[in-house]
Amino acid sequence: MKKPDIENYNSFIFDLDGTIYRGNSIIANADKTISMLKKSGKKIVFISNKTTGSIKDYFEFLTEQGLEIEPNEIINSTVVLSKYLSKNHDGEKFFAIGEKIFIDEIISSGLIFSENPDEIDILLVTLDRTLNYEKLEIAARALEKGARFFAANIDDTCPVDNGEVLDAGATISALEKRTHRKLEKNFGKPSHYMMDEVKERLGHDFSKTLLIGDRLETDIAMGNLFGLDTALVLTGVKNFPNGNQDIKPTYIFDSVFDLVKRK
């Protein structure tokens, strides 16, 4: 597939996990790629569905890996979800299938954590590496009693150093089957909530924007949904064509370095 001319674009949206880094390691030459784009005057935003770290955590990790970036160039789905909840559900009680750092950020946005299904107003689902049967049952009983059903992301898996681990999508499917309730809102990719936050950061139209990611059903689907050119990189999750035949990237790269490297 053809390689893009980066001069045709004035801004770039990068997925993080599986695109810029994987597990605890940066993708080879990702730092050089970002540096070259910035030196060319390009605007850059990083977006992630991963909620197991704060923006500060991601910023510190990426700068330690040699990326010259600013904290306000990073968006994750916790930020997008927290903004919505603070505006629309301040003071309500929630339960989360998610890790402590995610729960603490939701509490800081003005909501109250509860494990009592009788009083839970909102169930939130995201990646949780401490998931157990007790959490699933609290979530299921809350849904059966009428709690709202929101997700910070819908990824089926998350890439790690030695493969992939189960992510929120699998949990959502289990709860939908258990309760016969359907997920109401997703605040990560490919939602308009995430794209609205990206628009706010970039501050212009997307006619000359390229979105780069490793996952068809979130990264590439979001680009297609909002009319962006897209590039699929092969450094992250394994993409299965079943169910994704209509999700086609504009370009396919081995890695983000293909954007800028010379033949």
**Residues contacting residue 181 through CB under 8 Å, at least 6 positions apart:** 143, 144, 149, 175
Window from 3-17, 70-84, 175-189, 233-247 with minimum mean pLDDT: 233-247
> Has residue 4 got a pLDDT over 80?
no
Return the pLDDT at 240. 61
Task: Report residue 179's pLDDT band, with 50, 70 and 90 as the boundaries.
Answer: very high
Single residue among 160, 186, 212 that ends a domain in this structure: 186
Considering the domain architecture, whether residues 67 and 197 belong to the same structural domain is answered as: yes
- Count how many domains the chain has: 2
CA distance 3 to 143: 47
Q: Are residues 159 and 236 in the same domain?
A: no
In a domain, 160, yes or no: yes
Q: Helices 168-179 and 133-144, interaxial angle, to 10°?
A: 50
Residue with more model confidence, 216 or 236: 216
pLDDT (0 to 100) of residue 59: 96
Do 180 and 196 share a domain, yes or no?
no
What are the CA-CA distances from residue 28 to residues 129, 188, 235, 237 (Å)?
Answer: 27, 26, 10, 16
Do 215 and 171 sit in the same domain of this protein? no
Q: Which residue has the higher pLDDT, 236 or 204?
A: 236
- List the domain range (segments joined by +) for residue 226: 6-77+189-259
pLDDT score recorded for residue 23: 82
CATH number at residue 67: 3.40.50.1000
User: Which of 186, 212, 238 finishes a domain?
Assistant: 186
Other beta carbons less than 10 A from residue 205's beta carbon: 10
pLDDT value at residue 3: 72
For residue 33, give the 3-state DSSP assignment.
Answer: helix
Q: Are residues 161 and 204 in the same domain?
A: no
The mean pLDDT of 231-241, rounded to a whole number, is 80
Instruction: Provide the β-strand partners of residue 48.
Output: 76
- Model confidence at 243: pLDDT above 60: no
H or E element in which residue 12 lies:
strand 11-15
247, 171: one domain: no
pLDDT digits (tens, 9 = 90+) for 116-137: 999 999 999 999 999 999 999 9
Q: Is 45 exposed, middle or buried (0-12, 13-18, 19+ CB in 10 A)?
A: buried
Say whether both 255 and 211 belong to one domain. Answer: yes
Q: Going by DSSP bridges, is the β-strand pair 229-233/209-213 parallel, antiparallel, or unpaired?
A: parallel
What pLDDT was estimated at residue 133?
Answer: 95
Q: What is the pLDDT of residue 21?
A: 93
pLDDT category at 216 given cuts 50, 70, 90 is: very high
Does 76 or 163 have the greater pLDDT score? 76
Q: 242 pLDDT exceeds 60? A: no
Q: Which of 155, 186, 217 is the last residue of a domain?
A: 186
Q: Are residues 194 and 233 in the same domain?
A: yes
Categorize the per-residue pLDDT at 236 as very low, low, confident or very high, splitting at 50, 70 and 90. confident
CA distances from 151 to 7, 23, 35 (A): 37, 22, 33
Is there a domain that residue 149 lies in?
A: yes
- Say if 83 falls within a structural domain: no
